[in-house]
Structure 1
Amino acid sequence: MVRVLVVDDDAMVRNFLRQILTKRGNDVVAEASDGDEVVPAVQAHHPEVVLMDLRMERMDGVRATAAVAALPDPPGVVAMTSFDTESTILDAVHAGAAGFLAKDSGPDELVAAVEAVASGDGALSARAARVVMEQVAAAPTARGRREAQDMLAQLTDREREIAYRVAEGLSNIEIAGRLHLGEATVKTHLGHACHKLGVNRVRLALLVDRAA
């Protein structure tokens, strides 16, 4: 069971998402109708995942995602939008979203994304993954590469080893098998690496690729 905060300015959409998630055994602990309600809701209800609409009136989901990411021990954020443009996807990822879904995604994809982010994995839609990889493929400047390398140098050997496997697209279970470690050990090292660098899993993978 994953504890989820559902954020959307449309009450019907929130109800629909609640039904999908609870039917699959997850727990919608709270709802919010705008971005400025998200941080107080996170602090009050301690969700593991925030399912975040990106287009809201008072505070959009990108700014709300950044505010959540700045909290101590933040929940993972899965961003959702009807307008999955390249700029929207990259804005959400750089704000700290660990997952990105189009609103027309099916129930199975939605639940899988929430559960993947709760377990510490990333969850990008096919289009979002393609946009992120296109950004990675763009040649970084020499300065950008050095900065990424300097950041990764702050990690222990084991943390770096796990970061490299994350950049390969492996899940925590796959990393554990590859390195002959327990899954909990992988999650601990990965959590330490992300905390040191102030990034989440998706941004850690981008950092590794930029340093290469």
Structure 2
Amino acid sequence: MTKVFLADDQGLVRGGFRMLIEAEDDLEVVGEAADGAGAVKQLLQRPADVVLMDIRMPIMDGVEATRRLVAAGSPTRVLILTTFDLDEYVFAALKAGAAGFLLKDARPEELLSAIRNVAGGDAVVAPSATRRLLAHVVQSLPGEAAGQHDDKVQLLTAREVEVLQQIAAGATNAEIAGTLYMAEGTVKTHIGRLLAKLDCRDRVSLVLFAFEAGLAEPRAARSPQPGS
């Protein structure tokens, strides 16, 4: 069973998530908190596999709660729940160590899939939402960031840069393989090398690096597919 913790200041939202999650055979809700401080306290005492973390909460927001969990070495992976009007906070939460993010208006199946993906160690969360939101988030990136990554960029091969740009555009491994004419296994190998060379912990970190280093821009992001 995948253990899920709910951190949201709205009781109705937590109740809705609990009903959805507990209807699944492989998922269970193991705790709730109405603020970030309560979430951190409970999760440090009894970790979950995934915490659905709202950003805007009283006492301690989701960004600081994420930062504290990561700093404490908690095994709980953070899935941020957000809306477009909180773009700058999403970027901060991802930098703090969140495994991914999901828009609050996501379809139920997207939420359930995201929970399972994050619990399994994957940071590929709602690619369509990632593409749209990163196009907004990039506006809050510090202007001097690109130069700070020049040394690491020099370590990459031309092919690795191409793969990184595809990841930043929201492409899945299968889409990257098709676009760059390589096997999916080769794509995974390139991603592994990118993680090692750039000292990134996951795919989300690679996307942030690409934007900060100036290797990707909002206009390069793929348009959402119908129904996404």
In the alignment, which residue of structure 1 is the partner of 2:41? 40
**C-alpha separation in 2, matches of 1:139 and 1:81:** 18
Asked if structure 2 preserves the Cα contact closer than 8 Å seen for 1:65 and 1:96, the reply is yes
**Residue identity in the other structure for 2:66:** T
Question: In the alignment, which residue of structure 1 is the partner of 2:96?
Answer: 95
Cα distance change, pair 114–70 in 1 and its aligned pair in 2 (3 A): same
* C-alpha separation in 2, matches of 1:78 and 1:194: 25
RMSD over aligned Cα, in angstroms?
Answer: 4.1
Question: The residue matched to 1:203 in structure 2 has which SS?
Answer: helix
**Cα 1:72–1:176 shift into 2, 3 Å:** farther
Q: Retained in 2: the 8 A contact 1:79–1:100?
A: yes
Per-residue CA deviations over 1:51-93 (Å, capped at 9, x if unaligned) read 0112211111121122223232643222224564433433333
Structure 1 160/41 Cα, relative in aligned 2: closer, same or farther at 3 Å?
Answer: farther
Secondary structure at the aligned position of 1:123 is classed as coil
Q: Give unpaired runs (5+ residues) of structure 2.
A: 216-228
What is the CA-CA distance between 1:168 and the residue it aligns to? 5.4
Between the aligned partners of 1:194 and 1:36, the Cα distance in structure 2 is 35
Matches within 5 A, 1:168-183: 169-171=170-172, 181=185
Tell me, yes or no, if the aligned pair for 1:194 and 1:200 is still in contact at 8 Å.
no
Instruction: Give the gaps of 5 or more residues in structure 1.
Output: none
SS in 2 for 1:87: helix
Q: How does 1:78-93 map to 2 (within 5 A)?
A: 78-81=79-82, 84-93=85-94
Partner residue of 2:218?
none
When residues 174 and 63 of structure 1 are mapped into structure 2, their CA distance, relative to the original with a 3 A threshold, is same
Q: Which residue of 2 aligns with 1:72?
A: 73
Kindly indicate whether the alpha-carbon contact (under 8 Å) linking 1:102 and 1:125 is maintained by their aligned counterparts in 2. no
Change in CA separation of 1:170 and 1:41 when aligned onto 2, cut-off 3 Å: farther
Check whether the contact 1:8–1:53 (CA below 8 A) recurs between aligned residues. yes
Distance 1:32 1:138, change over 3 A: closer
Tell me which amino acid in the other structure corresponds to 2:23. Answer: K
Once structures 1 and 2 are overlaid, which stretch shifts more, 95-104 or 52-61?
95-104
Q: 1:113 to 1:83 in 2, by over 3 A?
A: same
The letter for the 2-side match of 1:45 is: R
Cα 1:55/1:134, change in 2 over 3 Å: closer
* Letter of the structure 1 residue corresponding to residue 131 of structure 2: A
- List per-residue Cα deviations over 1:152-196 (Å, max 9, x = no partner): 6789xxx9998666445455788899566499x86x948974994
Q: Tell me what 1:147 maps to.
A: 148
TM-score normalized by structure 2? 0.67
Q: Which amino acid aligns with 2:35?
A: D
For these two proteins, the number of residue pairs brought into alignment is: 209
Partner of 1:10: 10
SS in 2 for 1:104: coil
